[in-house]
Amino acid sequence: MNTDKKPFYLIVTLLALGTVVIYWPVAGFDFINFDDDIYVYRNSFINGGFSGRAFAWCFQVGYAGYWQPLTWMSYMVDCQLFGLRAGAIHLENVFFHAANATLLFLVLKRTTKAFWLSALVAALFAWHPLRVESVAWVAERKDVLSTFFWMLSLWAYVGYVEALKATATVRHKFYALALVSFVLGLLSKPMILTLPCALVLLDYWPLARFQLATSRDWHRLILEKVPFFALAAGSAVMTTIAADKGGALASTRFVRLSTRIETALVGYPSYLGKLLWPTRLSVIYPLASQLPTLEICLAAVLLAAVTIAAVRLRSTRPYILVGWLWFLGILFPVMGLMQAGGQSIADRFTYVPSIGFFILTCWMVNDLTREWNDRPVFLSGLAGVILAACVLQTAHQLKYWRNSGTLFQHALALNPDNFLAHCSYGCYLRDLGQLEPAEAQCRRSLEVAPNYVMGYIYLAGILEMESRSDQAISVLQAGLKVRPDFPDARCELAKLLFARNLYQDAEAELQEGLKLDPDDAQLHLYLGYELARQGNHSGADEQFAAGIRLDPSDPAGHFQWALNLAAQHKMPDAIVHYRAALRLQPDLPNALNNLAWLLSTSPDPNIRDGPEAVLLAKRACILTQTNDPVKIETLATAFASAGDFGQAVKWAQTATTVALAHGQTNIADQSMALQKLFRSHKPYYEYQ
C-alpha cells in the first residue's frame, strides 16, 4: 500500500465498518406496527418470497400511497432469503446506509479534492442521530435504497464530466450509468426526483462548469439534463397518481393550503434546529392545526436572510449557496404542500437534504478559521467531539426502535398529546392482548384529536374484540359523522352490522362507500358476500370480480368467490379461486377442506384428483386438531376417491364419533351413510 493511500483506505474502512458497528443492535430489533405490517409482515405478496405473481404486483400503483417497485422487490428478496426474520431485514438497511456514506465520501473527495472535509461530511451524514429513523425502520428501506442509487448517479455523473475531453465511448458509458442509476432510484423512492437539480448545483460548485467559454458548451450543459428532468417529471406524475389512489393525499378541506404553507415555513428552521442539536427526536411529530404567527414570521425572516446572504456570497463562497439550495430544494417535495400523512416534519426526510447543510457548515468553518493559530489541532478536536457526540446520541436514540412499545412510549414521553402515538401504542397493546389499556390509549387519542377518523376505527376494533359490538358500531357511526366520506370506516361498520345480522343496514353502508370510492376492494368483496347471502349469485360474482381485480392479494376474497361459484355448480372456476386463496394463505383450513371436497366428489373425472384431495384434507384436519367432523368426513371421502376404502371407512367412523361428541347428529347421520357406501367399495360423487 502506498503511503498516500493509507488515509484513504482508513477513512473508507472507518466509515463503512464504523457505521455497521454503531447500528449493529438492530439485528435484535423487531418489526414495528407502523407501516412495517403493510410493507412486509402482513403483505402476502412480499413475505411469500420471490415469484412471478409477486414480481408483477411490485409494479401496481397506489398500494401504501407509493410507486416503488424496486423497494418492494428488495423486501421480497429478503423474505426469500431470511423469511420474516426482522433482524436480517434491518441489517440490510444498515449495509445500504454504510455504502451510502462511503459513496458520499468518494463523490465529495473526487469533486472538491478536499480530503478531510469530505471525510467529515460523510461521517456526519453516517452517524448523525437524525439518520436513525431511516436506518432502523424497516419501512424506510426506500430511503437508503434510493439514496444508494442517488450516490451512484452522482459518482457516474462526475465521471462523465471528467470524461468530456476523453473519447465519446467513455463519456457515453458514464452518462448512461448516471441515467440508469437515476431510474433505479426513482423505482425505489420518488423523492430522488430532485437529483437533476442537485446535478445543476454540482455544475455550479465544485465542478465549476458555469464558467464556460462557448455557447456550444452551454448547449451541452442544458441538453444533458433534459433526460433527467423528463424522468423526474414522469416520476412526479406517477407519485401523485399513486398517492391519490392510495388515499395518502390529504384534501384541502382537512388540511388548508394556508396551514400547509405555514407548516413548511416553520418546518425548515425545525430541521435546522434538529441538525444542530439532535435531541427530543420522535417517530411522529403531529401536524398542528394552527401555528403562532410570531413563529411563522421569524421562520420566514430566517429563510429569507440566509438565502440573501448565500446569494451575495456566491462569488467568494459558492459552497454556501450550493449547500443551502441543496438543503432547501431537496426537502421541498416533503414540506407538506402536498400533505401526505399526519406529520408536520419527519426525521427521515432529512436523509439526503442534510448533506447540503453539512457541506455548508464544514466548508464555512474551515474558511472562517483559516488564519487561526493551531488551526489543525482545534479543527481536529472539534470534529472529534462533534462526531463522538453524534455517535453517543445515535446509540441512545437507536434503543427506542427496539419494538413498537418502546418507540411509541418514547414519543408519548416527549409529547403526551401525540394522538398518532397514542393510537399506535394502543395497537401494540391490543396485539399483546391488553385490551383495556389499548382502549384507553385510543380514547385518549380521540380526546386530543376528535377529527382523527382512524382512531375511531382502531377503537371500534378493540371494542369488538371485547365483545362490545353495540359500542363498536356507535363509535364507527360517530367517526362517520366526523368524516362521512371515509370508505374504510363504512367498510368496518358494515362488517359489524353483518355480524349482528343487520344485513340491510350493512348493504346500505357498502353501497354508500362504493359511491365514495368505487376502487375500494374491500367494499366490493363485502358487498359480494351480502349479495351471495341473498341468493343473488350473478350480482355477487360481479362484486367479487371487481374486488379481486382491485386487490388480488386477499385470500378471503378468493375464498368467498369460490363459495359463490360452487353454489352455482361452477366447479372448475371455484377450484381456481380455492387454489388462489391457498397460494396466498396456505394454511386456510376451510379452503383446504372445500377444495379437497370438490376434488373428491366431482362426477367429472377431469376434475377429480383423489390423491391430492387426501393431502389437502389431511392438512385441514391437522390444522383443526382432528376435531372438526366436517373436515374428517372430507378426509374419508378423499380416501374413497383415491381408492383406499379401508382408510375411508376408518375416517368416516371417526367423523361419526366426533360429530356425536359435538351434538351434531345431522353430520353423524351423513358419516354413517358414507360408511355404508365405502364398505361397498363405492366412492361418493356429488350431484349424480
pLDDT at 385: 97
pLDDT at 213: 59
**pLDDT surpassing 90 at residue 146:** yes
Integer CA distances (angstroms), 436 to 433, 439, 447, 468, in order: 9, 5, 17, 12
pLDDT at 249: 56
pLDDT at 238: 87
pLDDT at 341: 65
The whole-angstrom separation of Cα 130 and Cα 144 is 13
**pLDDT surpassing 80 at residue 338:** no
Among 139, 144, 133, CA closest to 400: 133
The whole-angstrom separation of Cα 651 and Cα 501 is 35
**pLDDT surpassing 70 at residue 253:** no
**pLDDT surpassing 80 at residue 75:** yes
Cβ proximity of 194 and 239 under 8 Å: no
Cβ-Cβ contacts under 8 Å for 333 (sequence gap 6 or more) = 191, 193, 194
pLDDT digits (tens, 9 = 90+) for 630-670: 999 999 999 999 999 999 999 999 999 999 999 999 999 99
pLDDT at 251: 52
- Name which residue leads in pLDDT, 4 or 388: 388
Question: If pLDDT is split at 50, 70 and 90, which confidence band does 1 have?
Answer: very low
**pLDDT surpassing 50 at residue 2:** no
Q: Answer positive or negative: Cα dihedral of 548, 553, 558, 559.
A: negative
Among 75, 144, 93, 96, CA closest to 351: 144
The whole-angstrom separation of Cα 141 and Cα 72 is 9
**pLDDT surpassing 80 at residue 485:** yes
Q: What is the crossing angle of helices 469-482 and 487-499, to 10°?
A: 160
Residue 343 is inside which H or E element, if any? strand 343-345
- Name which residue leads in pLDDT, 684 or 550: 684
Pairing state of beta strands 343-345 and 285-286?
antiparallel
Classified as helix, coil or strand, 386 is: helix
% of residues, the chain, pLDDT over 90: 73
Long-range contact list for 674-679, CB < 8 A, 24+ apart? 674/633, 674/636, 674/637, 674/640, 674/648, 675/649, 677/640, 678/636, 678/640, 678/645, 678/648, 678/649, 678/652, 679/645, 679/649
Single-letter residue type at 235: S
**pLDDT surpassing 90 at residue 511:** no
Among 34, 679, 22, CA closest to 394: 22
**pLDDT surpassing 70 at residue 246:** no
The answer as to CATH 1.25.40 being correct for domain 589-688 is: yes
Residue 336, all three cell numbers: 407538506
Among 489, 430, 427, 407, CA closest to 454: 489
The whole-angstrom separation of Cα 287 and Cα 80 is 38
pLDDT at 339: 61
Among 350, 214, 382, CA closest to 275: 350
Overall average pLDDT of the 125-150 stretch:
98
Place of cell 403483505: 43
Overall average pLDDT of the 386-394 stretch:
98
Give the predicted TM-score (pTM) of the model.
Answer: 0.85
Classified as helix, coil or strand, 286 is: strand
pLDDT digits (tens, 9 = 90+) for 273-332: 999 999 999 999 998 878 899 999 999 999 999 999 999 999 999 999 999 999 999 999
List, as one string, the DSSP characters of 3-70: GGGHHHHHHHHHHHHHHHHHHGGGGGPPP-SSSHIIIIIT-HHHHT---HHHHHHTT-S-GGG---HH
HSE value, Cβ hemisphere, 13 Å, CA-based, for 478: 18
List, as one string, the DSSP characters of 462-521: HHHHTT-HHHHHHHHHHHHHH-TT-HHHHHHHHHHHHHTT-HHHHHHHHHHHHHH-TT-H
pLDDT at 688: 47
Cβ proximity of 605 and 576 under 8 Å: no
**pLDDT surpassing 90 at residue 44:** no
Overall average pLDDT of the 151-168 stretch:
92
What average pLDDT does the structure give for the chain? Answer: 92
Classified as helix, coil or strand, 236 is: helix
pLDDT digits (tens, 9 = 90+) for 419-461: 999 999 999 999 999 999 999 999 999 999 998 999 999 999 9
Cβ proximity of 265 and 299 under 8 Å: yes
Cβ-Cβ contacts under 8 Å for 186 (sequence gap 6 or more) = 146, 192, 193, 231, 232, 235
Overall average pLDDT of the 474-482 stretch:
93
Q: In the chain, where does the domain assigned CATH 1.25.40.10 lie?
A: 500-586
Overall average pLDDT of the 600-625 stretch:
94
Residue 624, all three cell numbers: 383443526
Classified as helix, coil or strand, 311 is: helix
pLDDT digits (tens, 9 = 90+) for 288-297: 878 899 999 9
Single-letter residue type at 214: T
Cβ proximity of 443 and 466 under 8 Å: no
Question: If pLDDT is split at 50, 70 and 90, which confidence band does 514 have?
Answer: confident
Q: What is the crossing angle of helices 257-276 and 318-331, to 10°?
A: 130
pLDDT at 639: 96
Top CATH class of 500-586 equals mainly alpha
Place of cell 386463496: 581
The whole-angstrom separation of Cα 404 and Cα 496 is 28
